[in-house]
Chain A
Amino acid sequence: MIICERLGRRYGEYWALRDVSFEVGRGVVLGVLGPNGAGKTTMVRILTTELMPSEGRAFVAGFDVVKEAEKVRKAVAAVPQESRPIDFLTPYEFVLSYLLLRGYSLREARRRTAEALKEFGLWETRNKEVDALSGGMKRRVLVAAVFASDADVVFLDEPTTGLDVYSRRLVWNAVSELKRRGSTVVLTTHYVEEAAALSDVVLVINKGRVVDLAPPDRLVEKVPGKYVVEVYGKDGLAVEGGAVLKIGDRLLYYVDVPPKLGEPSKDGAKIVIRPKSLEDFVLFNIGLIEGDHEDD
């Protein structure tokens, strides 16, 4: 459903995306992880035909994103990063107008709007102006519109950033439902546990380049050891053996057997022992985030 071949985008001398190649099929949820400025949004903007690539090719739903942009646009739907619904419209008007713009008849658009608003818990507030809704509800309005469009490929660019736990789960439900319907979903997120829980395949990118592409479990297997001992504090526990990652005053020990904890250290160092996770793959491979580029 999505094929990228050595895709790249340059701004002057700075490469926001470089040599990105991957392929995902129909009905797959692709989680995209990476720090700010990694190139996630640049990649999404190219695949949704909003931005020209500087090099390489990409195909979405079988169509070339450069040469067949019109056909791509019929097959995709997107919730862009930091987007908001038009504030003086009601959720009903926003979703309805989006579906009309996508080419649905008024009758079908009304039916789909009602269905989507009910699905996202927005039916009771359908006639309130968006301006009066909470941040989480506004975000759900956007996702509801895209959800109702029944597009083959859906791009959700950090859709859960800043959402409460309830709203986040409604978005997660939408991702699962889209997958069940056969849509391919591209989900960029900073929440690693979200990517781990929802994605069939995770693409990790950093500084515009692909770090790895694999199912979440496979990525976790690449992290050394079985457990992680996180120690914060200068006078904390020192663990022998295994790999060590240092983030400021925090030390992460990757070990096969967790150590037995004795007395707490004098300066109150905090120690957490947990099984390794996808987050550790990201930490291990990307390490410290070097400089934020908000407009990536």
Chain B
Amino acid sequence: MKTIKDALVIAWINGWIAATRGWVWVVASSVSPAAFLVLLAIYGGVEGLKWGLVGGFIWTIASNGISLIGDATYYRLGIKYQSMLTAAPVSPAGYALGLALSSFIFALPTLSVYLVAMYLLGVPFLSIETVYALTALWLASAGIGFTLSGFIKHMRYAWALPQILSAVFTIGAPVYYPADLLPSPYLAVVLPTGAAAVVVQRFTGLRAYDLELVAVAALALALQSVVGLYFLFKLARWRQP
């Protein structure tokens, strides 16, 4: 219960207050996926637009976790806020989930626009399977983001690393293109974004993957989110060894 309260307080200050006072970050979180969306719409028409919307949604969710690297590092190294919270009954898990949740708040306007657009285009986006895939993706990427932030020793790397990871997670994985373009479609499940994309693309009708591949992707996502949470709860703890 305390972990949830901590997460909500962090999300309130770092997400809601930050977003309402600095709308530029809300825009910034939507720019890259929107750029892909436009390109895909130009070259792929309505079908390209659908791929752009689904891919953009997945990218935005993954970015929520990855982008917390910047905040977590700034609070740890830049202003020593994390040190202040270490000397207080605050759980690292609540803190990390709060940071991820605050990124989600930034992304909410973008995600809402995507949902409406997909509804208008007849893409059946909201289902148990897609919600599962996106939730698991969010947990996995939050775990990866918070854990990686703990290894950063200089503030200047905190802004570069998320950009590299975003590129790897969204272009290296079949988020905007079908998994069967890879040498083996099973390679898609190596990264959580690819695994989530396989599930989401299958259940939104963008690609008719084998059910076996979808099952493997769902399983991989479960494992990745458990590993992400393990790192978040156990390895990304306050104390420096």
* Residue positions of A touching B, CB distance < 8 A: 45, 48-52, 69-70, 73-74, 76-89, 93-94, 97-98, 100-103, 129, 142, 145-146, 149, 155
Assess whether A86 is in contact with B79, with CB atoms less than 8 Å apart.
Answer: yes
Which one of B81-89, B112-120, B163-171 is at the A interface?
A: B81-89
Nearest-neighbour CB distance to chain A for B59, whole angstroms, equals 26
6 A-B pairs with the lowest CB-CB distances in the bound complex, closest first? A78-B87, A83-B80, A48-B87, A80-B83, A84-B79, A80-B80
Which single member of B13, B18, B21, B87 contacts A97 (CB below 8 Å)?
Answer: B13
Nearest-neighbour CB distance to chain A for B219, whole angstroms, equals 34
- B240 to chain A: which residues have CB within 8 Å? 45, 50-52
Which one of B2-10, B188-196, B197-205, B223-231 is at the A interface?
A: B2-10
Assess whether A100 is in contact with B9, with CB atoms less than 8 Å apart.
Answer: yes
Determine the distance from Cα of A100 to Cα of B87 in the docked complex, in whole angstroms: 14
- Residue tally, chain B, CB below 8 Å to A: 28
Determine the distance from Cα of A86 to Cα of B88 in the docked complex, in whole angstroms: 17
A-B pairs with beta carbons under 8 Å apart, 28 shown: A48-B83, A49-B87, A49-B238, A49-B239, A50-B83, A50-B240, A51-B239, A51-B240, A73-B86, A73-B88, A73-B90, A76-B87, A76-B88, A78-B88, A80-B80, A80-B87, A82-B80, A83-B79, A83-B81, A86-B14, A88-B21, A93-B17, A97-B9, A97-B12, A101-B88, A102-B89, A102-B90, A149-B88
Assess whether B9 is in contact with A52, with CB atoms less than 8 Å apart.
Answer: no
Determine the distance from Cα of A74 to Cα of B5 in the docked complex, in whole angstroms: 16
B44 sits at the interface (CB 8 A)? no
Determine the distance from Cα of A87 to Cα of B14 in the docked complex, in whole angstroms: 11
Which single member of A69, A78, A89 contacts B83 (CB below 8 Å)?
Answer: A78
Describe A's contact surface by its main secondary structure: mixed
B109 sits at the interface (CB 8 A)? no
B22 sits at the interface (CB 8 A)? yes
Q: Kindly count the residue-residue contacts between A and B in the assembled complex, taking CB atoms under 8 Å apart.
A: 94
**What 6 additional pairs, Cβ within 8 angstroms, besides A78-B87, A83-B79, A149-B88?**
A49-B238, A52-B239, A69-B238, A73-B87, A76-B87, A101-B85
Assess whether B86 is in contact with A49, with CB atoms less than 8 Å apart.
Answer: yes
Which single member of A51, A86, A146 contacts B81 (CB below 8 Å)?
Answer: A86
Assess whether A86 is in contact with B13, with CB atoms less than 8 Å apart.
Answer: yes
User: Please, which residue of chain A has its CB at the minimum distance from the CB of B85?
Assistant: A101
Nearest-neighbour CB distance to chain B for A194, whole angstroms, equals 21
Nearest-neighbour CB distance to chain B for A294, whole angstroms, equals 13
Nearest-neighbour CB distance to chain A for B241, whole angstroms, equals 5
Assess whether B239 is in contact with A50, with CB atoms less than 8 Å apart.
Answer: yes
A-facing residues in B116-170 (Cβ within 8 Å): none
Assess whether B81 is in contact with A88, with CB atoms less than 8 Å apart.
Answer: no
Nearest-neighbour CB distance to chain A for B102, whole angstroms, equals 12
- A48 to chain B: which residues have CB within 8 Å? 83, 86-87
Assess whether A69 is in contact with B239, with CB atoms less than 8 Å apart.
Answer: yes
- B13 to chain A: which residues have CB within 8 Å? 86, 89, 93-94, 97
Assess whether A102 is in contact with B88, with CB atoms less than 8 Å apart.
Answer: yes
Assess whether B21 is in contact with A129, with CB atoms less than 8 Å apart.
Answer: yes
Please, what's the 1-or-0 string for B84-101, where 1 marks a CB less than 8 Å from any CB in chain A?
111111100000000000
In the complex with contacts A97-B12, A100-B9, A88-B17 CB distance below 8 A: yes
- B86 to chain A: which residues have CB within 8 Å? 48-50, 73, 78
User: Please, which residue of chain B has its CB at the minimum distance from the CB of A102?
Assistant: B88
In the complex with contacts A88-B17, A129-B21, A98-B239 CB distance below 8 A: no
User: Please, which residue of chain B has its CB at the minimum distance from the CB of A142?
Assistant: B84
Nearest-neighbour CB distance to chain A for B128, whole angstroms, equals 34
- A87 to chain B: which residues have CB within 8 Å? 79
Determine the distance from Cα of A146 to Cα of B88 in the docked complex, in whole angstroms: 10
Nearest-neighbour CB distance to chain B for A78, whole angstroms, equals 4
Nearest-neighbour CB distance to chain A for B115, whole angstroms, equals 28
- B12 to chain A: which residues have CB within 8 Å? 97
Assess whether B89 is in contact with A73, with CB atoms less than 8 Å apart.
Answer: yes
**Which one of B18, B80, B87 has the greatest number of beta carbons of chain A within 10 Å?**
B87
Which single member of A50, A85, A101 contacts B90 (CB below 8 Å)?
Answer: A101
Determine the distance from Cα of A146 to Cα of B21 in the docked complex, in whole angstroms: 26
Assess whether A80 is in contact with B89, with CB atoms less than 8 Å apart.
Answer: no
Assess whether A88 is in contact with B22, with CB atoms less than 8 Å apart.
Answer: yes
Nearest-neighbour CB distance to chain A for B74, whole angstroms, equals 9
Which single member of A77, A82, A83 contacts B88 (CB below 8 Å)?
Answer: A77
Assess whether A103 is in contact with B239, with CB atoms less than 8 Å apart.
Answer: no
Assess whether A103 is in contact with B87, with CB atoms less than 8 Å apart.
Answer: no
Nearest-neighbour CB distance to chain B for A247, whole angstroms, equals 32
Determine the distance from Cα of A198 to Cα of B31 in the docked complex, in whole angstroms: 54
